[in-house]
Structure 1
Amino acid sequence: MSIEDLLEQHGTTFAEEAGITLRDEPSPLWRLLVLSLLLSARIDAGVATASARELGRAGWRTPRAMRGSTWQQRVDALGRGGYRRYDEKTATQLAEAADLVLDTWGGDLRRLRRDADGDVEAIGEGLQRVKGIGPAGAAIFLREVQGVWPEVAPYVDALAARGAEAAGVPRTGPGLARHVEAEELPRLVAACVRVALAG
């Protein structure tokens, strides 16, 4: 498959699918963190992105707004997105994530970026302080954020590399980055992930 075909057929980032216009600003970065948490569960990616959209529609686009919601409101929003199997646990994790981001980084994940001083591994470790986000969840965040945090790019994790191999394109970040403009790299990496998830 050519790079062009890969982008055309599968090149929608998960943030885009969830209705998040990613920018280096507190609200979209928080929403990406929430999406990464939702995608971390063993649940269909479409359900996770639909549930992230529902949380956004409910107005919980900042950690402070999330903290102001009730547990039942969060369960109900997740249910509207189809996120039923893990809704109760995840509703609790979302409140805990809001508390952590507010208490540790003043509600602004750019402070995590600043504290890590451009070290991608340190950013990943910081993300994993959020209960419910492990290495896979941190990788999701890093794959998507590389378009607005240039020091993360070119970022490709094992899942994206597996999809790239299946699609017959380079498996490494530098290899993929040679074929697209910097702002297109998250779309290309997301396309590789979608190929991997499709089996």
Structure 2
Amino acid sequence: MRPKGTHSGTSCEGSAQAGLIEKLQVLPGYSQELGLDLRRAQDRFKWFLASILFAKRISARIAAATFRQFENQGVTTPQAVIAAGWDKLVEILDAGGYVRYDFSTASNLLEAMTKLVRDYGSLEGLYDRAADSHDLEERFQGLKGVGPVAVNIFLRELRAVWPKANPPPSPLATGLARKLGLAGSALMLPGLESALVRVCLDYCKRRKCPECPIRDDCRPS
């Protein structure tokens, strides 16, 4: 016999979890905030470029501003990056405020895009060559300056677009999910991992709890 109140409590908990998930899923991902449609191949490359910028130990605001500079200069394809050359890339990076990593990022971008074009032809070609999600991650990390953080940033927002895009969840997302009482499987829902990372970076780490969109659902640590 079910103890009194058990069903009701479980139902309330499930309803609260569903409400929390709904709040998280309406938060825009970084690619969406940049105005990118990841169903389009050209925007997927733009997001790849942005992901490389976001992966460094630099503010998201500066990374986004620097990506806008690449857009403004029309440097948003592998070929355009190569054609721009090192000096122009440094100029673009500096204009966006990416001065801390300007030289190394310019060098890495040139080498990475040269290898991408030479070995795969395009970003889509790299994806097509990958046997599975692990192989996809390995191939991306074979590009100069593209590490696990950049790969996670890039692929987690492509889960609903590329079947082979299934990176291990970010530790930031898993940590916050545990604090919120979310099941690990919830991280596979569209947009949820990206939303958790954003909440962690934009509110938790900055101690902006009163402004957090899920403050009422958070369990104090």
Q: TM-score, normalised by structure 1?
A: 0.82
Match of 2:24 in 1: 6
Q: How much is the aligned-residue C-alpha RMSD, in angstroms?
A: 2.1
Q: Which runs of 5+ in 2 are unaligned?
A: 1-18, 206-221
Structure 2 match to 1:20: 36
Q: 1:41-87 CA distances to partner (integer Å, 9 max, x unpaired)?
A: 11112211221121122111110111110322212221222211111
Q: What is the distance in 1 between the residues matched to 2:105 and 2:164?
A: 30
Map 1:95-174 → 2, pairs under 5 A = 95-106=110-121, 108-117=122-131, 119-153=132-166, 156-170=169-183, 172=184, 174=185
Matches within 5 A, 1:38-117: 38-106=53-121, 108-117=122-131
Alignment-mate amino acid for residue 165 of structure 1: R
Contact 1:146/1:155 (8 A) holds in 2: no
Alpha-carbon distance in 2 for matches of 1:123, 1:103: 17
Task: Find the counterpart in structure 1 of residue 195 from structure 2.
Answer: 191
Give me the TM-score of the superposition, normalised by structure 2. Answer: 0.75
CA distance, structure 1, for counterparts of residue 175 and residue 60 of structure 2:
17
Greater CA radius of gyration, 1 or 2?
2
- 1:166–1:35 Cα change, 3 Å: farther
Checking the alignment, whether the CA contact within 8 Å between 2:133 and 2:166 is kept in structure 1 is: no
Moved over 6 A (4+): none
- CA drift of 1:152 comes to 2.5
Q: Which amino acid is 2:21 matched to?
A: I
* Structure 1: tracts of 5 or more residues without a match: none
Is the Cα–Cα contact under 8 Å of residues 167 and 195 in structure 1 kept in the other structure? Answer: no
Query: How far apart are the structure 2 equivalents of 1:21 and 1:116?
Result: 22
Aligned-partner Cα distance in 2 for 1:18–1:90:
20
Larger RCO: Structure 1 or Structure 2 (Cα < 8 Å, ≥ 6 residues apart)?
A: 1
Deviation at 1:14, TM superposition (A): 1.5
State the 1:153 CA deviation. Answer: 4.8
Distance 1:86 1:104, change over 3 A: same
Q: Which amino acid aligns with 2:146?
A: I
Q: 1:169 to 1:50 in 2, by over 3 A?
A: farther
Report deviation, 1:122: 0.7
